[in-house]
């Protein structure tokens, strides 16, 4: 497995998420409309943005953990059972700490 490639993929995604989270923070910090109806819509939009922000933060933590595993030389090894994580799984979900069986609860 080419961990250099995986590290680049992870770092690129980290930068993409960081930029997206900055935009979300900016949107959440904007001035509110004076109209009650507009404020209600903005409030609903803010809830969606907060959910996206939380998901982004969770993914950033997973990416940071994967980058740490690369640095330690344990990337691609299941954190639960110690088996190798398939390259196909890592190609789709490069930050995953679990093999398919452990992720499925087997």
What is the C-alpha to C-alpha distance for residues 99 and 78, in angstroms, rounded to an integer?
Answer: 5
What is the C-alpha to C-alpha distance for residues 64 and 43, in angstroms, rounded to an integer?
Answer: 31
pTM of whole model > 0.85? no
Which contacts of 34-43 are long-range, i.e. CB under 8 A and separated by 24 or more positions?
none
State what percent of residues in the chain have pLDDT above 70.
Answer: 92
Over residues 6-46, the pLDDT tens digits come to: 999 999 999 999 999 999 888 877 766 666 676 777 777 87
Task: Report domain extents, the chain.
Answer: 3-75
Average pLDDT, whole number, for the chain? 90
Report the CATH fold assignment for 3-75: 1.20.120
Angle, CA 63 vertex, CA 58 and CA 65 arms, to 5°: 95
């Amino acid at each position: 497995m080419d961990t250099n490639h995986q590290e680049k993929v992870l770092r690129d995604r980290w930068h993409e998420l960081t930029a997206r989270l900055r935009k979300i923070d900016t949107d959440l910090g904007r001035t509110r409309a004076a109209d009650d109806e507009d404020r209600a819509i903005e409030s609903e939009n803010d809830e969606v943005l907060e959910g996206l922000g939380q998901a982004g933060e969770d993914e950033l933590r997973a990416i940071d953990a994967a980058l740490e595993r690369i640095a330690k030389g344990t990337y691609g090894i299941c954190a639960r059972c110690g088996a190798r994580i398939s390259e196909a799984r890592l190609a789709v979900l490069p930050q995953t700490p679990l093999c398919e069986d452990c992720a499925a609860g087997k």
